[in-house]
Every structure is written in C-alpha cells, then in structure tokens.
Chain A
C-alpha cells in the first residue's frame, strides 16, 4: 500500500496556482485602451528626464530615503537583537524564567509587528506631527519586533546542550549569555540584518509613497501626474541605489574576508567610523535634533457609544474575508512563481534574466503596480492581489536565488546523469534541498503580505486596508481604532498559524 507523497518541492510550487484566478480576472477585463499610456511608460524608461531640477529633487529624495532606512535599520537591529535574545527559550532557560513568561513576552512582541509600517506612519503622524522621527519610528517599531522574532526562532533551533552544560558547570547566567548565546547569533545576524537593510529601504520608499517624504514621494507625485519621464529619473536612481546596497550586503555576508586579527579590528573600526559618519549626516539631513524633545499631540478619545456605532457601520466579517482572500492570492503568486519560473528552464543564463526581472519587480511599490495594471484591465480583487504579489515575488525570487547559490550541484548532476530530464533533476536535485527553508521563509512572507494588504486595498476599494485609509482621511477615531484592533488580531492569529506550519516543515520533514 503506497501512499502518494507530497514532497516539499511540489508544495512550494502549488501556491503558484493562485496566479490562475488573478490572471483570469485580468484577462477577462483586459482592453487595449491604456496601450498608449503603457507604451509611454515603457518608452520613457530609456529616456528619463535629465532636467537639472528633476534630477536634483530625485537625488535629494533618495538621500532622505537612504537616511531614514539607515537610521531605522540601526535602531531596529539593536532593539531587535536584545529582544530576540531575551525572548528565546534558551535565554529563559539560562535565567530559569517560568514558562508563562516566555509566552507573555512573545505575545507582547507580536503586537508591534502586527501593524504595517505605513499604518504606523499614518498613526504616528497624528501624534508627533511633521517630525522626521515619524518615518523612522514607523519602521523601527514593527522591524524591531520582526527581527526579535526571527532571532529567537533561530536560536531555538540551536542545540541547547552546550548551554545547559555551561549552566551545570556553574557558570553564572550573564556569562553564559555572553559566551554561550551571543556568538551563536552572529551567523544569523550576518545574513539576516543585511536583508533587513534592504527591507528598510523598501519600507522607507513605500512610506514616501504615502506622503512621508523621500524618493517614494517623488515616485508617487510623478506617477499621479503621469509624468513618466520624470518618474523614470527617480526609478533609475532607486534601482542603482538598491544594486549598490545589494553589493554591500553581500560583502557583509562574506565578512570577515581575512583571518588576521589585526585586520579584523581595523575593519570593525572602519565600519563603526562609516556608520558614525552616516548617522551624523543623517541627523543633519533629516533635521533631527536629539536635544529637542519630541512633541506629543493627543487626539480625542472616542466615547463608548461612538465605538458601538462604528462597529455597526463597518461590515467587519465581509472586510475580513476580503482581506484574507487578497492575502491568500497575493502570497500564492509571490511564493509559487519564482521556483516555477526557474524550473521552466533551469539554466544559468535564464536564471540571470530572472534575477534582473525580479529586481525590477520589487523596486516598484505595490500602489504603483496597481495603477499600471489598472491602465490595461478593469479593477478586480485579482488586480489588487497581482499588484501586491508581483512586488513580493521579486523579494521571494531574490531569496530563492541566494538559497540556491549556497547549494552544491552534486545532487543535480547525479540525478541528471541517471538520465532524468533537466526540469525534474532541478526540482528534485537542486530545489528539493532548499524548499523546506524556502517554504519556512514563505510563511513569514505571508504575514508580511497580510499586513501589506492595507496598501492596495485602495485599488479594489475593498478590504480592511481601504476602510482604514478612508477612516484616517475622515479622522474618524472610533473606526480607526477598531480597524487597527481587528488588523492586529488577524495578523497575530495568522502568525501563530504560520509558526505552526513552519515548525511542521522544519522538524517533521527532515
């Protein structure tokens, strides 16, 4: 009696099925009416505006975005590392904390990341006014808690025996922490934090799209006024910046290159010197003065009756269902398409083309994708899902590429030499080894997508995200608070589910 086995490489491809309904909806509504404008958009890519004022303002915008990304990355990494170590079960074991404490800490830490950075930005703006801190804090708050989660999850997969032996030997908890746990976080940090810097850059760009300054603002204004040549000036600057950043993070991952202790010290000093200088110029450019306190402006707290009325006005079950469908479709596209695209023709040349396509995909923020798609098809939930999915497809593709690069080709060659076709050998030879970790990561992405539905809700005019943006623009505090609460709750539930799935994948499949 043989049971048909669904292996994880196949499972990773299945989500791509979500593309079909979305694509179907897009085809059903397809028309040639926007061809002229799409053509203009494409032809503008090779002739961006070279007007001095346009380039100048795009550069100024890029500088602000980089500084916001950099500062928020430094702050969120530091906070995230501390909380990540503090909330890992290994640390709690070292300090002999009770079990309920770890659960409590983890739930508390789940709250900041259950709200998307855009929403944090729009909310903080209400309380802090036009301060550069708004954009920085909007990224720092959710990112710290995201980093903490990844670090504590990774620490928990480590073998605890070396730590327990240290404790048994009578080493005090603090020394155990420094000598036993901290060094173990370094390899995790090297890959993960570099990636976080890129996320911060994308986050800062998106914040700009929602009006918080920087290159995103330039993109949004030029796109809205359909000045494509000016828009491409900003886009090219953004693309080049991201490429440079990728080279830097690659360097960090392979660091340290030399074994000599003296060189390491010089390099560490150099890194600190550069970061210190960056921080200083960032403060200057963003007009941040650490000695001036941040002003706090309160907003009216709604009465109980207003909350009840707001709940009645909002059709919450419908909004939640719409949001979940959008998340489901968008994650399917983002997770399933990259491996599928490589499998079509697993040769280096094709993969290289894909990498360029993916870079392009993730550089354009979802709201801009949505407007582009809208020019050639009628509005639908499929369009919203595709706009969101295609941006994150770019992110997942990059991740897949990195994972594949770390794989050895032996298995692929072995399977191929038995006479298997190119595609199955790639699927079972190369991809099967990375698919569990790819899927584990995909579970994180799904959470991100659920939060990010807020930014494209506006396209379909549906879901919690759209309702929230509408309430913010109406300054309806009772609705805003209810919607944020609901958003938070479903994201936290979603996170627990994806944690469960990931544990199943990591611990049972291998």
Chain B
C-alpha cells in the first residue's frame, strides 16, 4: 500500500511539473525567419562575442530580419552545420569554404576582406634552432629533420598552404623529426610553441603574426621570420543557396551589399572591420578558390 502511495505521489508530481513545461516550450517554437550567422573560430571568445553581436545588430537593421550568431568552435563542425543547413551565412577559411561548397552545391561565395585577396603564411623559427631566414622556396629543405608544427589541421594558412609549399620544395611530413609534424591547434599556440623552443619551426597565418608583432606579444629575441609565402586567396563569406527563397528575392545580393558597404568612416562599421582585421569587404567568387581546391585534393583534405 505504501509503495502505491509513493508511486502515485511521484507520478502526479512529475505530471504537474513537467507537462506544463513541455507545452510552454512547444508554444514558443521560434520563427523560421532568423538569419543564423556562424564563423570558424580563430579568436578568443570575448572578442568573438563582441564581434558578432556588433555584426548581428548591423545586419539585422540593414536587412530587416532577426540575426542570430551561433558559435561553432570547430572547423569541421562549421562545415557540417553548413551542410545540414543549420547556418545561413558562415565566415569560412579557404579550405573549409571549399569543403562546405562541395558538400552543398549552389552555395554562394559572397565577399572577402581586402587582405584575403593577397593572403600569405609565415614560416617562423626559434632563434636558438640554428635555422636561417631564406629567400626562396628551396630553402625550406633546411627544415628536414627538425621539429615542426602546423596550426589547426583544417587551417588554410596554418596547414594547407604551408604543407603545399613544403611539398613543392621536396619536404614531406615524414622528413620532420619523429616522422611527423605537430598540430598546435591555433596560430597563437604555434607562436608560443616555437618561441618556447618545443618546436624549432612552425607556420601560421600572416595576419595573426603581424597583429601579434604589433601588440608586442612576440619575443623577438626568441622567434623570428624564416619565410613569407607567395600570396593566395583565403577567408570568405559563404551563403546558403536558398536564401532568396527563404527571405525574398534579391536577399543574397542585399546581404552581400551590406557586407561590402561597411565603411571605416562610421564608428560602428569601423569597430566591426577592425575586429575582422580588414579595411573593407570586397566581392568574391568561387573561381578564386580553384587552386585551393586542387591543393586540398592533392594533400588529401578534400576527397
């Protein structure tokens, strides 16, 4: 009898407290009109949050749709979320953008920063390693037998392009010490690990290197530039193919325009552009990333 009393008690409590919850939850199911913006992560969260709340409110007023920033902190997660349609507009790197487009045919390349048209990677070396700065690609051969680190495994400037230039000069991953290369996980970590001496050399995003130099976060007595790579196209905004259907004709173009029209002369726009490290956004197209795709296939990052 006591058990039945207990069971009664519990069930009634459960019913009383959970059912209304489910009902209210299903009632406030969100509108489908929200534009969901995502980005691959390469900055600290505080900066990311500031950056995207600024951008979201800007886009929201320009386009007259609610905009929501959805944080995705892993390169391949961002690609998958684009494929499944969970993100409408994503700030991709060169390689991840190509991966995303191949998985979502029809996706539109909208814009890139002015600096993305001539982006480059930097090879850095620890000053105690005995490695010397080089003038041309053939000099990369001196990295054979050294401890070398890339950044994140999906990074265009921290992995794909450096590996491409290394292979072009005849250095394979197997030629590094221990027959493998490290993956520090981020550009900042690459600087820290080469500066500490754990790795003798590494490669990273040129823009991140410059901004670290400017902020005085690099100890010049411990780490220096070995080589600046030739330029290539990198980061870009990628939009879902169906935005015009979802938000009305011409929406995709309006979206591109609002990005391109961000102007350093107004304070709010300036803040956004500064956080992106850009002077302005310029129109971009898929053809610019053909060579990234080829290199991706060669290195095995694209099937």
Q: Do A and B come from one complex?
A: yes
- Interface on A for B, CB 8 Å cutoff? 29, 31, 33-34, 36-37, 51, 53-54, 57, 122, 125-126, 128-131, 208, 210-213, 217-218, 220-222, 224-227, 230, 261, 265, 268-269, 272-273, 276-277, 279-280, 283-284, 287-292, 295, 297, 367, 371, 374-380, 458-462, 469-470, 472-477
Residue of A nearest to B126 (CB): A33
CB neighbours (8 Å) of B197 from chain A are 31, 33-34
CB neighbours (8 Å) of A54 from chain B are 45-46
Q: List 19 A-B contacts (CB under 8 A).
A: A34-B192, A125-B77, A130-B86, A221-B48, A221-B73, A224-B186, A226-B192, A227-B46, A265-B9, A272-B14, A276-B13, A277-B17, A289-B26, A371-B185, A374-B193, A377-B198, A461-B180, A473-B75, A475-B302
The docked-state distance in angstroms from the alpha carbon of A57 to that of B84 is 27
CB neighbours (8 Å) of A472 from chain B are 76
The docked-state distance in angstroms from the alpha carbon of A126 to that of B147 is 34
Complex contact B80–A476 (CB within 8 A):
no
The docked-state distance in angstroms from the alpha carbon of A211 to that of B71 is 9
**B189 contact from A226, A297, A460, Cβ within 8 A:** A226
B145 at the interface (CB under 8 A from A): no
B279 at the interface (CB under 8 A from A): no
**A130, A279, A287, A289, most chain B CB atoms within 10 A:** A130
B21 at the interface (CB under 8 A from A): yes
Residue pairs across A and B with CB atoms within 8 Å: the count is 192
Complex contact B25–A230 (CB within 8 A):
no
Residue of B nearest to A208 (CB): B73
Interface string of B46-64 (1 = CB under 8 A from A): 1011100000000000000
B280 at the interface (CB under 8 A from A): no
The docked-state distance in angstroms from the alpha carbon of A367 to that of B5 is 50
Complex contact A230–B84 (CB within 8 A):
no
Complex contact B185–A375 (CB within 8 A):
no
**A462 contact from B147, B180, B303, Cβ within 8 A:** B180
Complex contact B80–A126 (CB within 8 A):
yes
Complex contact A273–B21 (CB within 8 A):
no
Complex contact A129–B198 (CB within 8 A):
no
- A280: shortest Cβ distance to chain B, in Å? 4
CB neighbours (8 Å) of B184 from chain A are 371, 374
B170 at the interface (CB under 8 A from A): no
The docked-state distance in angstroms from the alpha carbon of A287 to that of B68 is 13
CB neighbours (8 Å) of A276 from chain B are 13-14, 17-18, 21
**A224 contact from B6, B76, B185, Cβ within 8 A:** B185
Complex contact B81–A130 (CB within 8 A):
yes
The docked-state distance in angstroms from the alpha carbon of A376 to that of B195 is 11
The docked-state distance in angstroms from the alpha carbon of A273 to that of B301 is 50
Complex contact B83–A297 (CB within 8 A):
yes
**A378 contact from B30, B81, B198, Cβ within 8 A:** B198
Complex contact A211–B14 (CB within 8 A):
no
Interface string of B140-184 (1 = CB under 8 A from A): 000000010000011000000000000000000000001011111
CB neighbours (8 Å) of B26 from chain A are 289-291
Residue of B nearest to A211 (CB): B74
CB neighbours (8 Å) of A211 from chain B are 41, 72-74, 77
- Given A218-B45, A224-B185, A289-B29, CB of A212 within 8 Å of CB of B77: yes
